[in-house]
Structure 1
Amino acid sequence: MTLDDPLVARIRGEYREMPGLRLSLAQACRLWQIDATTCLAVLDELVAEHYLHRTHDGAYAAFPTTHARFAKATLSDSRTTAPRSRHRA
């Protein structure tokens, strides 16, 4: 496996799209439908590049990032919006 391998990119993308994702080796194999040897090789590569880390219970998780941006919703106060114009029939 290389860092530009499509499978590595796919797994990296899954962790990026789902912050907080924690998977055991067995769960990762089922999710990505790959054998344990291949899955372990990819996960170990991502650990080696410090993209993932192993938790105390053996799960694979991404390191927290400060680059994550979350959408912010704002509600307008109806008292500050312009009045609607009324159409005469």
Structure 2
Amino acid sequence: FFFWLTRDSPNLHSPIRPPAPSCNNVDLYSGCIYTAMGIPTDLFTPIFAVSRVAGWTAHILEQLENNRIIRPIAEYVGPEKREYVPIDQR
């Protein structure tokens, strides 16, 4: 059931509003997987948050260090070509 629901979700829409393009991300499918694994629905949100805490923390530390808010759309300005250094030589 969940496979067909997620597969057809871009085609599901309200009869009141016309359909808009839908881009599904991993969170659409994670709920189905958690259910299939027997994880209680009350734990879905904590699992979502815990999986992102490291990234959120990194952003906060960068913001505090640079006194600049991290913008999601940023252009990379670092060196273009760098040689790979094996871990044991770092």
TM-score by length of 1: 0.24
**Structure with larger RCO (C-alpha < 8 A, sep 6+):** 1
Q: Which has the higher helix share?
A: 2
Q: Which has the higher strand share?
A: 1
TM-score by length of 2: 0.24
